[in-house]
Structure 1
Amino acid sequence: MGRAMTGAAPLTPPSLWLDQAPPRDREPLPGDREYDVVVVGAGFTGLWTAYYLATSSDARIAVVDAHHVGFGASGRNGGWCSALFPASLGSLAALPGSSRDAALAQHAAMRASVAEVGAAASAEGIDCDFAHGGTIVLARSATQWQRAQEEYDDARSWGRDDLALLDRAQADEVVRATGTVGATYTPDCAAIHPARLVHGLAEACERNGVTIYDRTRVTAIERGLVRTCRGTLTAPHVVRATEGYTPTLAGERRTVAPVYSLVIATEPLSAEVWDEIGLRRRETFSDHRHLIIYGQRTADDRLVFGGRGAPYHFGSRVRPDFDRVPRVFAKLRETLVDLFPAVAEAEITHRWGGALGIPRDWCASVGLDRASGVAWAGGYVGDGVSTTNLAGRTLRDLILGHDTELTRLPWVDHRSRKWEPEPLRWLGINAGLRAMTLADAEERTTRRPSAVARVMAPLIS
């Protein structure tokens, strides 16, 4: 998910995070202005970029947003700061000019970015409930256990030692869910409070001279300028940091597909319930089903739990009412109770959602077109909290003209092909979402790896 570019602000807080840490009101753009760098989107991508530029140069920097800091994914996500990257190591190695070593360098950079987020938050005095407990992904059937073993074997084939394979007893030491057969575990994830992080990051930017404009809707990005509803911003460098809201910009309708992920949060749970569940170090958790789920234990002892399943909307539309799909919220609660029966009576206090950006080849990218001065980053497919930090440091180096290890990573200057025109886009994406649901149902029935998932795998790897 990224920065909202159209639509009125919702009537209720869009997430638990923004309810607990409301945004500060900032003034809109007062008219035409000139800067050295203009960043479109006041989410993690835009703010990390502004932060690292401001602390590394004397550039005059402005950030503009249609709503407010953290309105989109940065204030609505599941609170995972992980080393996950949407494209596999094999896909990264196969990119033009890439290699096995380059793919592993990307993976190492993602791992380092988790620690960098924590270090930057600490340095700037941002209390974002950072808990570096790692991620456990449960296997709760024989077919899921087979996938867990295959993932572990694949990691070993790349020489990676950052993924562990846990048996049932070892998995239960971390989290006790129903039906656990085993799990995979990686230390490279932290649970965070994303709204506190994004607001603290915005304030750190401002302390370093960055100007942030709220309520300034951008309609187009062109060479050397940004057109908004309140005036024109000119700058030698413009950064597009709009993620799932990119299709609302002129000429960007097919750049990424905005697909919704929805989340629920329970009331704070008792110590007795947590003794039964575990997650003592606030490990984030998921399982090896096909339709993605994700969860975390918050610092105030809630369970935040989300997943896919909401439909893609025709024409890449993004609207506030798409954030709420009652059947998906009901399914999330059902799935959460299936995992942890102890939460069956817990009240669900918050329900929310938002758009994430999916590129056609499922490979995030960052880059700078030196001819036009327009830079971009995004296509995180929901794995953006730490990836945005890597993007911000990379964009800093690209804009300042520095040749570094970051600027040589394989995702730099990668350009995904455009999505198909409608109605093919609508048909294909929703068929894919439906297929993952069917794949899980197929495996529950047959107890064998899904034929549907096997057919779909080349399209989403």
Structure 2
Amino acid sequence: MGTTVFERARPRDSVIDDSLRHTAHSVFWLDGIDRPSYPPLTAGTHADLVIVGAGYAGLWTAVRAKERDPQRSVVVLEAARVGWAASGRNGGFCEASLTHGYENGLSRWPDEMDRLQRLGLQNLDGIEESVERYGMDVDWERTGQLAVATEPHQIEWMDGEGFLDQDAVRAEVHSPTYLAGNWDQDGCAMIHPAKLAIELARVATELGVVIYEQSRVTGISGSGRQTVAVAGGASVTADHVALATNVFPSLLKRNRLMTVPVYDYALMTEPLTSEQYDAIGWKQRQGLADSANQFHYYRLSADNRILFGGYDAIYHFGGKVRAEYENRPESFRRLASHFFTTFPQLEGLRFTHQWAGAIDSCSRFCAFFGTARGGRVAYATGFTGLGVGASRFAADVMLDQLAGLDTERTRLEMVRTRPIPFPPEPAAAIGVNLVRRSMDRADHNEGRRNLLLKALDAVGMGFDS
């Protein structure tokens, strides 16, 4: 098996050690920002719509519901705090893609890709319009995203509009690892992820939504109006329920095997000096991602730090979401090593923060949708790491479904079909880790996929970070 540039040009151990010597295990985005608190639900109440989960999907559903009908009473129930999970700790790539990239969508819904791309761009434009209309302080930058090839076999994946050869891509961002690139200049914005969640909650409450934190939902019951029970004995009775729990166990038994939690890791540097910034270029401030199966994503923050994340995507036996899984020193060291391979001119730069979070991964890599309880309950889950932008689209889908509307969104095959479920344990852990090893082998073998990956491609199963 061959090597990749991250092994061929590995930095010295001392460089890695020094960069991580004083790194705090803490989510950079959630550090030092004002986070308003909301009370817990302590008594019974009623609503037209109750939403479970105060991440992006739940908060967009609340905002869009009030925009459609300002008189509708809307309650959001959150087990912990607004935006504390994936919505507060992701990379901040707000992408137009609804299908986890063009190729993934094309392989599954070839007849719909023109519509899905148009709807995805409309959705991203809609997010930008909301940011402007409500004065949302989210560090919005519509920079686009630059995909880069770091191995010769990846260059052929860079053809088409936006192609940059080696000289052109290195002129954009100065890395000796870049062999080619493809810059989508309109299909992605950079945002501060925690600020987006906090600002969505602000907008929602200003529109009349009532948010309850520290209110863990324990179950849903009822044949007509639904009763949503909260730990401690309180409950909400509602005409309709939208489930936006994503990586956490579904309240619907039918969805228990549809997603698995996969842990993703990230580092944040100290702010770059002007000399360091000049040394890497990056004047257009695009989001960056390399093109391997196990890929890195990285971007600049508003104060010119570099977030560097991805590569490892770790599944733990039993599919549990646990805080102890977030501290994985070998993943942080690997990221630091790959960072200085990418930017050797930044040797001496230190990482101030390291953290992780769980991604709700499904077998088709993008969100799926559905209803239950005679159309009174709707759900969207399985975003597989691309929920920052797609969560707003998902909110509109759920609201369409709850209203019984026949729309362009609800007619999509992508919306009407479900992915293949994961098997129960121990088969899930065995399968996921076999696939992960196979993808690593492909990255070390000029992209050649083995029989297992080819078989999974053929039946619509897979695994991605």
Fold match by TM threshold 0.5: yes
Mark the CA change 1:78 to 1:31 in structure 2 (over 3 Å): closer, same or farther: same
| Match 1:31 to one of 40, 43, 47 | 43
Asked if 2 retains the 8 angstrom alpha-carbon contact of 1:267 and 1:348, the reply is yes
**Please, which runs of 5 or more residues in structure 1 have no aligned partner?**
1-11, 153-162
Asked if 1 retains the 8 angstrom alpha-carbon contact of 2:77 and 2:213, the reply is yes
Q: Give, in whole Å, the separation in 2 of the partners of 1:314 and 1:225.
A: 33
| Match 1:133 to one of 138, 143, 167 | 143
| Match 2:408 to one of 400, 405, 408 | 405
Counterpart of 1:8 in structure 2 is: none
Identity rate, percent: 31
Say yes or no: does 1:217 pair with 2:220: no
Mark the CA change 1:109 to 1:37 in structure 2 (over 3 Å): closer, same or farther: same
Q: Give, in whole Å, the separation in 1 of the partners of 2:58 and 2:422.
A: 24
Superposition deviation, residue 402 in structure 1: 3.4
Could you tell me which amino acid in structure 2 is paired with residue 297 of structure 1?
A: L
Superposition deviation, residue 304 in structure 1: 0.5
**3-state secondary structure, aligned to 2:142:** coil
Q: Give, in whole Å, the separation in 1 of the partners of 2:118 and 2:452.
A: 29
TM normalised by structure 2 equals: 0.87
Could you tell me which amino acid in structure 1 is paired with residue 158 of structure 2?
A: A
| Match 1:283 to one of 286, 294, 310 | 286
Superposition deviation, residue 450 in structure 1: 2.7
Mark the CA change 1:216 to 1:126 in structure 2 (over 3 Å): closer, same or farther: same
Mark the CA change 1:247 to 1:377 in structure 2 (over 3 Å): closer, same or farther: closer
Could you tell me which amino acid in structure 2 is paired with residue 24 of structure 1?
A: P
Counterpart of 1:145 in structure 2 is: 155
Could you tell me which amino acid in structure 2 is paired with residue 232 of structure 1?
A: S
> After superposition, what is the alpha-carbon deviation per residue over 1:265-299, rounded to whole angstroms, capped at 9, x for unaligned?
00000111111212223200011112021010111
Superposition deviation, residue 54 in structure 1: 0.8
Could you tell me which amino acid in structure 1 is paired with residue 260 of structure 2?
A: A
Superposition deviation, residue 117 in structure 1: 1.4
**3-state secondary structure, aligned to 2:68:** coil
Mark the CA change 1:253 to 1:395 in structure 2 (over 3 Å): closer, same or farther: closer
Counterpart of 1:197 in structure 2 is: 196
Q: Give, in whole Å, the separation in 2 of the partners of 1:138 and 1:83.
A: 18
Counterpart of 1:65 in structure 2 is: 78
Counterpart of 1:54 in structure 2 is: 66
Q: Give, in whole Å, the separation in 2 of the partners of 1:205 and 1:140.
A: 43
Mark the CA change 1:55 to 1:455 in structure 2 (over 3 Å): closer, same or farther: closer
Counterpart of 1:329 in structure 2 is: 332
Q: Give, in whole Å, the separation in 2 of the partners of 1:121 and 1:181.
A: 36
Counterpart of 1:103 in structure 2 is: 113
Counterpart of 1:177 in structure 2 is: 175
Superposition deviation, residue 434 in structure 1: 2.5
Say yes or no: does 1:317 pair with 2:320: yes
| Match 1:449 to one of 429, 437, 447 | 447
Q: Give, in whole Å, the separation in 1 of the partners of 2:48 and 2:144.
A: 39
Could you tell me which amino acid in structure 1 is paired with residue 86 of structure 2?
A: A
Q: Give, in whole Å, the separation in 2 of the partners of 1:383 and 1:304.
A: 17
Q: Give, in whole Å, the separation in 1 of the partners of 2:204 and 2:123.
A: 19
TM normalised by structure 1 equals: 0.87
Asked if 2 retains the 8 angstrom alpha-carbon contact of 1:148 and 1:183, the reply is yes
> After superposition, what is the alpha-carbon deviation per residue over 1:67-97, rounded to whole angstroms, capped at 9, x for unaligned?
10001111010010012344565765676xx
Q: Give, in whole Å, the separation in 1 of the partners of 2:154 and 2:177.
A: 11
Q: How does 1:373-452 map to 2 (within 5 A)?
A: 373-440=376-443, 442-443=444-445, 448-452=446-450
Asked if 2 retains the 8 angstrom alpha-carbon contact of 1:219 and 1:227, the reply is yes
> After superposition, what is the alpha-carbon deviation per residue over 1:165-217, rounded to whole angstroms, capped at 9, x for unaligned?
11112212321112221111112111110111110110100001101110111
- RMSD of equivalent CA atoms: 2.3
Q: Give, in whole Å, the separation in 2 of the partners of 1:173 and 1:88.
A: 25
Q: Give, in whole Å, the separation in 2 of the partners of 1:59 and 1:281.
A: 43
Say yes or no: does 1:264 pair with 2:263: no
**3-state secondary structure, aligned to 2:309:** strand
Q: Which moved more, 1:183-192 or 1:306-315?
A: 306-315
Q: How does 1:81-96 map to 2 (within 5 A)?
A: 81-86=94-99, 92=105
Counterpart of 2:57 in structure 1 is: 45
Mark the CA change 1:251 to 1:367 in structure 2 (over 3 Å): closer, same or farther: closer
Could you tell me which amino acid in structure 2 is paired with residue 109 of structure 1?
A: L
> After superposition, what is the alpha-carbon deviation per residue over 1:358-399, rounded to whole angstroms, capped at 9, x for unaligned?
123334223334714110112111011010011122223333
Could you tell me which amino acid in structure 1 is paired with residue 295 of structure 2?
A: I
Mark the CA change 1:28 to 1:251 in structure 2 (over 3 Å): closer, same or farther: farther
| Match 1:460 to one of 454, 459, 462 | 462
Q: Give, in whole Å, the separation in 1 of the partners of 2:316 and 2:40.
A: 30
Mark the CA change 1:13 to 1:449 in structure 2 (over 3 Å): closer, same or farther: closer
Mark the CA change 1:91 to 1:130 in structure 2 (over 3 Å): closer, same or farther: closer
Asked if 2 retains the 8 angstrom alpha-carbon contact of 1:92 and 1:410, the reply is no
**3-state secondary structure, aligned to 1:26:** coil
Asked if 1 retains the 8 angstrom alpha-carbon contact of 2:44 and 2:235, the reply is yes
Q: Give, in whole Å, the separation in 1 of the partners of 2:349 and 2:102.
A: 40
Could you tell me which amino acid in structure 2 is paired with residue 137 of structure 1?
A: A
Q: Give, in whole Å, the separation in 1 of the partners of 2:453 and 2:67.
A: 48
Superposition deviation, residue 113 in structure 1: 1.9
Q: Give, in whole Å, the separation in 2 of the partners of 1:451 and 1:41.
A: 38
Asked if 2 retains the 8 angstrom alpha-carbon contact of 1:87 and 1:364, the reply is no
Q: Give, in whole Å, the separation in 1 of the partners of 2:251 and 2:431.
A: 20
| Match 1:121 to one of 128, 131, 135 | 131
Q: Which moved more, 1:257-266 or 1:269-278?
A: 269-278
Q: Give, in whole Å, the separation in 1 of the partners of 2:251 and 2:388.
A: 22
Mark the CA change 1:13 to 1:408 in structure 2 (over 3 Å): closer, same or farther: farther
Q: Give, in whole Å, the separation in 2 of the partners of 1:300 and 1:182.
A: 28
Mark the CA change 1:319 to 1:75 in structure 2 (over 3 Å): closer, same or farther: same
Mark the CA change 1:332 to 1:78 in structure 2 (over 3 Å): closer, same or farther: same
Mark the CA change 1:251 to 1:32 in structure 2 (over 3 Å): closer, same or farther: farther
Asked if 2 retains the 8 angstrom alpha-carbon contact of 1:291 and 1:307, the reply is yes
